[in-house]
């Protein structure tokens, strides 16, 4: 059979190859040295008395559906504790011209797993001769998260795209939560963003109004949340794919918005 030509004799599981992600199995697939147990290590780092490693979720990202597609807006700040590591991080991964993923939580986890998701989406396209649906892509990411449940991953992501069913928006996080909805915001600035976009949202907004709402959501959140800032990176997911709308500095935006306030 063809299989025995490709794989060494006796190996019938794809799982045996290092660094290959195999979803659905209960066994751990991460290539760790023998004797290392990630979940036990993590528990030992979370004691009140001893060493305490705090996972930070410094970010604000938001996405909402409206009549003309999906708006995705993110900030660009990366913090390591109280230190500002960078103000120019790209928190949106362009999976393919019809799929975007946002990142919040641990930068390393998000970048790795979403890049892996991009690989799986490309493989799906090659194997099935059609683009993967947003629902399936988000389910793939969700199952990856569930495979490493309890081992300290920190990922809060929104998968946005346009497929046969129309515009799609899913929220996926490291607990394995996967929710479909019309509006989500993630990161520690999410509550501030929700306040602004909830009160300004109208189903029949024009495209310009939607761009303004997305910018406002991120800007006001970065104003209040110390761990968010930098620039607003905004994308618009349309029927013919996504476009990058703008990249504007939040400090300039907030000055523009506040101009009329304190006169």
Interface residue list for other proteins (CB under 8 A) = 26, 142, 145-146, 149-150, 171, 173, 175-179, 181, 184, 190-191, 194
Closest to other proteins by CB, 150 vs 166, is 150
Q: Residue 228's closest CA among 183, 199, 257, 193?
A: 193
Cα distances (angstroms) measured from residue 36 to each of 31, 42, 65, 67, 258: 10, 11, 43, 50, 52
Closest to other proteins by CB, 146 vs 246, is 146
Q: Which residue has the tokens 């500095």?
A: 249
CB of 24 to other proteins, least distance (A): 11
Closest to other proteins by CB, 30 vs 88, is 30
CB of 244 to other proteins, least distance (A): 26
H or E segment and range at residue 114: helix 107-128
Torsion 86-87-91-97 (CA) sign: negative
Q: Residue 151's closest CA among 101, 106, 93, 104?
A: 106
CB of 197 to other proteins, least distance (A): 13
CB of 238 to other proteins, least distance (A): 25
Tell me, yes or no, if 12 is annotated catalytic: no
- What is the C-alpha separation between 242 and 79, in angstroms, rounded? 28
Closest to other proteins by CB, 131 vs 178, is 178
Please pick, among 27, 59, 177, 222, the residue that the annotation labels catalytic: 59
Closest to other proteins by CB, 98 vs 227, is 227
Is-contact 173 156, C-beta < 8 A? yes
Beta strands in the chain (DSSP E): 61-66, 69-74, 78-80, 83-86, 92-96, 99-102, 156-163, 166-173, 178-180, 183-186, 231-238, 241-249
Q: Find residue 156's DSSP bridge partners.
A: 173
CB of 141 to other proteins, least distance (A): 12
| Residues whose CB is less than 8 angstroms from the CB of residue 66 and which lie 6 or more positions away in sequence, other chains included | 201, 203, 205, 210
- Which residues form the catalytic set? 59
């Amino acid at each position: 059979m063809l299989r025995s030509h490709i794989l060494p004799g006796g190996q019938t599981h794809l799982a045996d190859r290092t660094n290959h992600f195999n979803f659905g199995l209960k066994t751990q697939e991460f290539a760790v040295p023998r004797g290392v147990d990630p979940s036990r290590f993590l528990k030992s780092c979370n004691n009140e008395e001893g060493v305490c490693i705090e996972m930070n979720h410094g970010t604000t990202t938001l996405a909402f559906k409206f009549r003309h597609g999906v708006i995705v807006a993110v900030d660009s700040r990366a913090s390591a504790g109280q230190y500002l590591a960078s103000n120019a991080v790209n928190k949106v991964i362009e999976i393919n011209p019809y799929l975007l993923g946002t990142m919040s939580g641990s930068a390393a986890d998000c970048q790795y797993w979403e890049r892996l998701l991009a690989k799986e989406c490309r493989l799906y396209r090659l194997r099935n001769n059609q683009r993967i649906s947003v629902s399936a892509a988000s389910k793939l990411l969700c199952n990856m998260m569930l495979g490493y449940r309890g081992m300290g991953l920190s990922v809060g992501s929104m998968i946005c795209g346009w497929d046969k069913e129309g515009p799609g928006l899913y929220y996926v996080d490291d607990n394995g939560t996967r929710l479909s909805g019309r509006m989500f915001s993630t990161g520690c600035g999410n509550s501030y963003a929700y306040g602004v976009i909830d009160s300004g949202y109208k189903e029949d907004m024009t495209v310009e109004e939607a761009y303004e709402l997305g910018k406002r959501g991120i800007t006001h959140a970065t104003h209040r949340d110390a761990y968010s800032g930098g620039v607003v990176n905004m994308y618009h997911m349309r029927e013919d794919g996504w476009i990058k709308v703008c990249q504007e500095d939040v400090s300039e935006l907030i000055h523009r918005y506040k101009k009329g306030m304190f006169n």
